[in-house]
Amino acid sequence: MSPDPAAAGAPVRLGPISTAVPPHALDQEAVRSRARTLFQDTDGGVERLMPVFDNAGISRRYSCVPLSFYGREIGWKERNGLYERHALDLLEQAAADCLARAGLGAADIDAVVCVSTTGIATPSLDARLLNRLPLRPDVERLPVFGLGCCGGVLGLNRAAAMASARPGRRVLLLVVELCALTFRPGDLSKSHVVATALFGDGAAAALVSSHPDDAGVPLTGWGEHTWPDSLDVMGWTVEDDGLGVLFSRDIPRLVERDLGAAVDGFLSRHGVTRGDLAATACHPGGAKVIAALERLFGYPNGGMEAARAVLAGYGNMSAPTVLFVLQRVLAEAPDGPVLASALGPGFSAGFTLIEPA
């Protein structure tokens, strides 16, 4: 058994979590109507795909561009330009709010972990943020790409490892995804239609600290699990006009069949079982995934209230979504261990154990 990465370092606490969404609220019924028009040439008839919108468990999500934008044929340059501009706006908003809630200035931050997979920016988003927030010139930066929906949990884990490695270090975690910008009107695949029914845009920021003066809830363990020969389960394909969605219809079945052993293996390294958990903060990939997670963790149908509420109100924002859920779960002051988890490309699972005092 490999050693627990949290065991040898300084104690780490999770401080404030702040979230941000872009200004355009998209009602699911309006998206459904727009999709019916855009997908009318889909082989087999558009109506057979419309139940995806009804069964997604989503009422509203947010987009950095208005609904009228969808349907335009745009290339990589324009699409990525929108990503760079709007992602930075959301990160600045979330970061500033997080710092204010922590009672800190940008100059108090020692390191930044910035997670995003829905666009490309070089210089990276965190470097560009230095021109907007007065972060120190010597701040350490870790931009992370390619984690997809798992990025919120794994980004939290990377931030925790950095804070633990040096006592007194404050790490600002930044996570942003603009999934809605990946919509490509020429893609009539079922996976793309499902993504159209699910995806939204959002960002989150969190303070992860080993500084003795900082309040927060203890992060007591972190880890991950990647299944071999599973690259085709989830990810992006690179197309001429943008990123194409890749995910398997078997994800709910994989959750029920394979995730339990990975969860139990992680928890056992910390002397915890599923039955000991006071709460879970799981990334809600979709309605079927939440239902599978509820069965896995022993909840009644509908029992993962925070995950379902976030999915209904914001859609699947990929990496930031789990931090929206975790913010709600921790606000309820659970009396015992909390497990944050997410699934993403690899095919991988990320786990973070939080033990509120």
Catalytic residues: 149
Tell me how far apart the alpha carbons of residues 346 and 95 are, in angstroms, rounded to a whole number.
28
Report the Cα 305 to chain-centroid distance in Å: 17
Grouping H, G, I as helix, E, B as strand and the rest as coil, residue 6 is coil
H helix intervals, 271-343: 287-297, 305-314, 321-331
Tell me how far apart the alpha carbons of residues 64 and 179 are, in angstroms, rounded to a whole number.
10
Structure tokens at 274: 């599923």
Question: Is the Cβ–Cβ distance between 150 and 322 less than 8 Å?
Answer: no
Longest CA–CA span in the chain (Å) reads 61
Q: Beta-carbon neighbour count of residue 121 at 10 Å?
A: 18
Question: Is the Cβ–Cβ distance between 220 and 353 less than 8 Å?
Answer: yes
- Give 149's DSSP letter: G
- Give 357's DSSP letter: -
Structure tokens at 39: 């997908």
Of 340, 257, 354, 239, give the one whose Cα is nearest residue 296.
Answer: 257
- Residue 131, class by beta-carbon neighbours within 10 Å (0-12 exposed, 13-18 middle, 19+ buried)? exposed
Exposure letters 191-203 (e unless 16+ CB within 10 A, then b): ebbbbbbbbbbbb
The amino acid present at 324, given as its one-letter code, is: F
Structure tokens at 74: 């745009």
Tell me how far apart the alpha carbons of residues 187 and 246 are, in angstroms, rounded to a whole number.
12
Question: Is the Cβ–Cβ distance between 321 and 183 less than 8 Å?
Answer: no
